[in-house]
Chains A and B, each alone.
Chain A
Amino acid sequence: MATVPWEGPIPDLLRERLGASVLETCSYLEQPFAVLTREAMVPALALLRDEMGFDYLVDLTAVDYPKRTPRFELVYVVYSYGRNERVRLKAGVGAGERAPTAVGVFTGANWLEREVLDMFGIEFAGHPDPRRILMPEEWSGYPLRKDYGILAMDNGWVQANLGIESGQ
Chain B
Amino acid sequence: MTALDGNEMVLNMGPQHPSTHGVLRIVLKLDGERVKSTDCIIGYLHRGVEKIAENRTYTQFAPYVDRMDYLAAVSNGLGYCLAVEKLLNAVATPRAQAVRVILTELNRIASHLLWLGTHALDIGAITPLFYTLREREAVLKIFENYCGARLTTHAFRIGGLQYELYEGFEREVESFCGQFLGKVDEYEELLSGNRIWRERLRGVGVIDAATCKQYGVTGPVLRAAGVGWDLRKAQPYSGYEQYEFDVPVRTSGDTLDRYFVRLDEMRESVRIIRQAVANIPAGPIMAKVPKVIKPAVGEAYVSIEAPKGELGYFIVSDGTTQPYRLRVRPPSFVNLQALGHMAQGALVADVVAIIGTIDIVLGEVDR
Contact = CB atoms under 8 A, between A and B. Distances in A.
Contacts, number: 89
Interface string A119-130: 100000000000
A134 B303 CA distance: 23
A100 B344 CA distance: 28
Contacts of A135: 43, 46
Contacts of B296: 1-2
Contacts of A64: 325
Interface string B290-305: 0000001111110100
Contacts of B243: none
Interface string A87-111: 0100000000000000000111011
Contacts of A56: 213, 216
Interface in A123-144: 133-136, 143-144
A58 interface: yes
A31 B300 CA distance: 7
Contact of B298 (A2, A86, A111): A2
B42 A108 contact: no
B249 to A, nearest CB: 13
A166 interface: no
A150 B301 contact: no
Contacts of A75: 314, 327
A87 to B, nearest CB: 10
B366 interface: yes
B298 A144 contact: no
A144 B324 CA distance: 11
B213 A136 contact: no
A63 B46 contact: no
B215 interface: yes
A37 B195 CA distance: 57
Main DSSP-derived SS at the B contact region: mixed
Nearest to B303: A58
Interface string B30-66: 0000000000001100101011101100000000000
Interface string A53-88: 001111101011000000000010100010010101
Interface in B307-341: 310, 312, 314, 316, 324-325, 327, 329, 333-334, 337
Interface string B343-367: 0000000000000000000000011
A58 B310 contact: yes
B227 interface: yes
B170 to A, nearest CB: 34
A160 interface: no
A1 B298 contact: yes
Contacts of B367: 134
A106 B337 CA distance: 12
A77 B310 CA distance: 13
Interface residues of A, number: 35
B206 interface: no
A59 B327 contact: yes
A59 B314 contact: yes
A29 interface: yes
A145 to B, nearest CB: 10
Contacts of A84: 234-235
B227 A81 contact: yes
A111 B235 contact: no
B298 to A, nearest CB: 4
Given A1-B297, A133-B43, A110 B314 contact: no
A28 B314 contact: no
A119 to B, nearest CB: 8
A63 B316 contact: yes
Contact of A133 (B42, B314, B334): B42
B55 A28 contact: no
B214 A134 contact: no
A115 B301 CA distance: 18
Given A1-B297, A2-B296, A135-B43, A63 B324 contact: yes
Given A57-B216, A106-B216, A134-B366, A143 B48 contact: yes
B86 interface: yes
B301 A77 contact: yes
12 contacts: A1-B296, A58-B310, A59-B329, A63-B325, A77-B329, A81-B229, A108-B217, A108-B334, A119-B50, A135-B43, A148-B51, A150-B51
Identify the 9 closest CB pairs spanning chains A and B, nearest first. Answer: A108-B216, A134-B43, A59-B329, A108-B215, A1-B298, A107-B214, A134-B46, A61-B327, A63-B325
